Structure 1
Amino acid sequence: MTDEWVSFSRRGVTELVHLKGEIDLANANDIGRAVVARTTEASAVLIDLTAVSFLDSAGVRLLDFIVGDLDDRGKPIRLVVGERGAARMTLQLCAFRADLLATDLDRAAAELER
């Protein structure tokens, strides 16, 4: 059911989560359950938001929950938002943790593997 908005792959020890389309109240809970289930055992998590076309407050809360959960477990995370786009704009407007935002997938993955 969530395949429309989320897919997963591995990059070394890092779980790579690809989100796309509109992330909002209608699908944030389903996406969250899928992401948490897949990342529970991950050493590090990289969430690619470059294909997200819309991110509302439910999507921001979802990302905040995932980040908090991974922080509590001592697991590194980065959010790839690109140079511009809906996710980047929304997260910056919400003053989301800038230390977690990355513009480049390869660079963010390399940082997590250190």
Structure 2
Amino acid sequence: MCAAESTFALYEHRAGTTTVIRLCGEIDIHAALVLGPRAEQLTGELPDVLVDLSAVTFLDVGGLRLLARMRDRAQDRGLELRFVRGTAQVMRVFRMTRQDSSYTFVDRLPPGQGEDEDRPPGLVTVP
């Protein structure tokens, strides 16, 4: 679920001891500036963080920098941070910058980590 009227969005929810962050749309320098403070705050609230990149349509160096800050913050706090793989285009950015081995990727959301249907996820977005 991503907001069609926005260029980018961040949805969040909790599943047990895991914070699930779903990034959507174009994660570029502008998105990183807007979404960054909340994304970095979420990287530290629970011991396990899962960032879903499957709905990201574009990723540039600014977006990659945001993900690196989240990764570094989690490592500094001794937290587990994993990323759900994005599209081939998004994953190409990781490979081209030789960052693919610096992240822990999973192919999809593990069972029980999807959105809670009883309450809407949190959303940070800019139209």
What TM-score, normalized by structure 1, do the two folds share? 0.81
2:90 pairs with 1:87: yes
What CA RMSD, in Å, does the superposition of the two structures yield over aligned residues?
2.2
Question: Percent identity among equivalent residues?
Answer: 30
| Residue 99 of structure 2, aligned match among 90, 96, 99 | 96
Residues 18 and 48, structure 2, Cα contact 8 Å, conserved in 1: yes
* Larger helix share, 1 or 2: 1
SS in 1 for 2:55: strand
Structure 2 residue runs of 5 or longer lacking an equivalent are 1-5, 114-127
Residues 81 and 103, structure 1, Cα contact 8 Å, conserved in 2: yes
Distance, in Å, in 2 between the alignment partners of 1:37 and 1:61 is 15
**Would you identify which runs of 4 or more consecutive aligned residues in structure 1 move more than 4 Å?**
none
Question: Aligned residue for 1:20?
Answer: 24
Q: Which residue identity is paired with 1:5? A: A
Residues 28 and 59, structure 2, Cα contact 8 Å, conserved in 1: yes
Distance, in Å, in 2 between the alignment partners of 1:59 and 1:23 is 5
Q: Which residue identity is paired with 2:91? A: R
Number of aligned residue pairs: 106
Distance, in Å, in 1 between the alignment partners of 2:33 and 2:105 is 22
Find the structure with the greater CA-based Rg: 2
Summarize the alignment of residues 31-50 of structure 1 with structure 2, pairs less than 5 Å apart: 31-50=35-54
